[in-house]
Amino acid sequence: MSRLAKKPITLPAGVTATLEGSTLSFNGPKGKLDLALSPAVSAAIEGNTVTLASTSSENDDFAQWGLMWSLVQSKMNGVATGFTKSLEIQGVGYRSEISGNKLTLAVGFSHKVVLEVPSDVSVSQDAQNANILIVSGIDAQAVGQFAGKIRAVKPPEPYKGKWIRYVDEYVRRKAGKTGAK
């Protein structure tokens, strides 16, 4: 049984929540997000707190209670402060180019890889280092999914050190073959 889900969620300053049927809507300085609650979970808004309760006694439904609590926290933080993921492009001749809603990556293939940036996510390059891409938005799932899609174009490779990786990701470098005697 979830212990965190029993705690009420306090809304930060500038964020409002409304409940319409089984849909929670969050409005904040960064935008608006909606969350459809599971049928096994009910919500109540009292002042600036949101309280969730399980409506079922089945063991599998208790997992939904904790999940919904976590998703409410994520949506609330998204409209208040937003989410960012930073990716580093490393390799000789590897570069990225942003034009409109298209991200073009030149990462050692015979062709350039063009990715369409979703409407709820923005991509920019770091001011000091052009090899660092910053993916930001208010929806944690959309930001993480698009950052993962960029990383999947050229995942970290431990032998040559050419990759697209998260800035805080550690990649252990390995020695190559040592030649036959």
- Read off the CATH number of the domain in which 153 is found: 3.90.930.12
| Range(s) of the domain holding residue 134 | 83-166
At what angle are helices 59-80 and 140-153 packed, to 10 degrees?
Answer: 90
Indicate whether 121 belongs to any domain: yes
Give the mean pLDDT per block of 10 residues along the chain (181 residues).
81 94 95 94 94 83 88 96 96 94 96 97 94 97 98 94 94 82 60
Q: What is the pLDDT of residues 97-125, one digit of tens each?
A: 999 999 999 999 999 999 999 999 999 99
Check whether residue 134 and residue 74 sit in a common domain. Answer: no
C-beta of residue 133 within 8 angstroms of C-beta of residue 123:
yes
Q: What is the pTM of this model?
A: 0.89
C-beta of residue 91 within 8 angstroms of C-beta of residue 161:
yes
What's the maximum distance between 2 C-alpha atoms anywhere in the chain? 76
Tell me how far apart the alpha carbons of residues 127 and 84 are, in angstroms, rounded to a whole number: 15
Check whether residue 51 and residue 99 sit in a common domain. Answer: no
Tell me how far apart the alpha carbons of residues 41 and 43 are, in angstroms, rounded to a whole number: 7
